Amino acid sequence: MILKRLYDEKLAQASYLIGCSHAGEAIVIDANRDIQQYVSLAKAEGLTITHVTETHIHADFVSGSRELAARSGATLHLSDEGDANWKYSYARDSAAKPLRESDSINIGEVRISVMHTPGHTPEHLSFLITDTARAEDPMGMVTGDFLFVGDVGRPDLQEKAAKMGGTMEAAARTLHGSLGRLAALPDWLQVWPGHGAGSACGKGMSAVPQSTLGYERRFNWAFAAPSEIDFVRTVLAGQPEPPKYFAEMKRINKEGPKILDGFSRPELLDGKRYSEYSNRPHSLVVDTRPAAQFATGHIPGTINIPLNKSFTTWAGWLIPYDRDVYLIADCDSRVDEAVRDLAMIGLDRVMGYFDATVIQSFAEHHGGLGVIAQTAPRELEEWIAQDTARVIDVRGRAEWEAGHIPGVDNIPLGYLADRLSEIPRNKTIVLHCQGGGRSSIAASVLSAHGFANVVNLAGGFGKWESEGLPVEPLSTPALAESEKKKEQIASGS
């Protein structure tokens, strides 16, 4: 048996290639849209991909299962569990074989057994992996978004992302029941989850790539909940805001992802013709340079989403799917990276790019550049006392509730563009997050919408708190460390 884990750092997403060396066959589980990696890996291992499947209809990336099966000639297997709202619309057109509880797929001497594990989504499957050449008991389980290392899949996305009202408590109870079914499985069973730390598909998952069921029984909070009521209350509390693009991913992955056949670099555009492109209807220019460079000089009207580990997440929040996108990037390799990252979440309308020389060209032909001013905590304290600035905390709601600057409102970054009417245009607007990463993006969003006096709090709430300035309610050291880690993930540092 051959087992290979492929991990996408920006999506915090794992997929698996499992093969039998004797038969020369392999199955890929939870492929993302970058399918060449699976084709290349199978070739390097001397395997042919004969089967492709996935654990569920994904919400955080475009599935590559359809394209990989079509390109490799493999049989596509899709869940046939769940109700009509959770069936794959393209299953018949793709000649997909339906999978239900107790079905199995044989890859030479490797048996893939299907277990229906609903809760995160109604159709969710997990796969028990048995190397029959060695044993009749399974050695591991590909758990998708059902069971993570240190956490479980969130059951609120049906309601919050798919907009199916009144479903999250019932889904949480279903998830609790699915966990109960694991009691029949042995402690030695390896747990191979679909995500790691940084994914919005859970709230407290570990960065450790795998675990055992016995370890999770001892140390995963979900197994320690004394009752179903306690489990439901805990699993629903403090879940992060699901990114806007999750709803679009559900639709795409249910109806059938478009086959790309690779990622293509768009056309390099003439910087002297910048306005011709940027003024086109339904266009958006995204500056992918680091926040510090953007702050010291940028083309007015552009938004800044730095090309770091959080690029995919914030692109999904902030770039509408009905807009043509133009990129500003430092070099061709950065363009390729951005195009791939955008395509991974279905943002395929990248129409062209400008290299960094467009900044100076714009300044020479069209006037001054925009800047994002920076302030320090002590200076901000004076502005607050004098009531000369409106301060907005752009962290997630749970972070704000754990501790915030007294009197400061919370508008999470992902919702900022939807709540512009709440922000005065006749005052200095100071934005902050935990460490400065998200608030830098937020400052670019407000500037692009015509806000003239936008300031970023350098060092964010972490710096404010470290200087002993007032906080309400009082945050604990544990909370502060937790939020610091979140900011590191969000900022890509």
Sign of torsion over alpha carbons 153, 158, 161, 166: negative
Rounded Cα distance, 295 and 454, in Å = 11
Would residue 201 show up in a list of annotated catalytic residues for this protein? no
The set of residues, in sequence order, having a beta carbon less than 8 Å from that of 72 and lying 6+ positions away, is: 39, 42, 48, 49, 50, 52
Nearest-angstrom CA–CA distance, 89 and 85 = 10
- What is the C-alpha separation between 400 and 471, in angstroms, rounded? 10
Alpha helices (runs of H) in 109-220, residue ranges in sequence order: 157-160, 168-181, 213-219
| CA–CA dist 441, 305 (Å, integer) | 6
Angle, CA 318 vertex, CA 245 and CA 163 arms, to 5°: 35
Asked if 451 contacts 301 with a C-beta cutoff of 8 angstroms, the reply is no
> What DSSP assignment string belongs to 237-261?
TTPPPPPTHHHHHHHHHHH-PPP-S
Side chain identity, residue 160: K
Determine the angle formed by the axes of helices 245-255 and 311-318, rounding to 10 degrees.
Answer: 90
Check the CA dihedral 475-478-482-484 and report its sign.
positive
Cα separation of 243 and 316, whole Å? 7
Cis peptide before 155 (omega within 30 of 0): no
Rounded Cα gap, residues 41 and 18, in angstroms:
11
Which of 20, 201, 331, 433 is catalytic? The answer is: 433
Beta carbons within 8 Å of 226's beta carbon, 6+ residues apart:
none
Three-class DSSP category at 136? coil
Burial of 22 (0-12, 13-18, 19+ CB in 10 A): exposed
Question: Length of the chain, please?
Answer: 493
Contacts of 124 (CB under 8 A, 6+ apart): 55, 56, 79, 81, 82, 116, 117, 118, 144, 145, 146, 153
Tokens standing for 297?
């000089």
Catalytic residues: 433
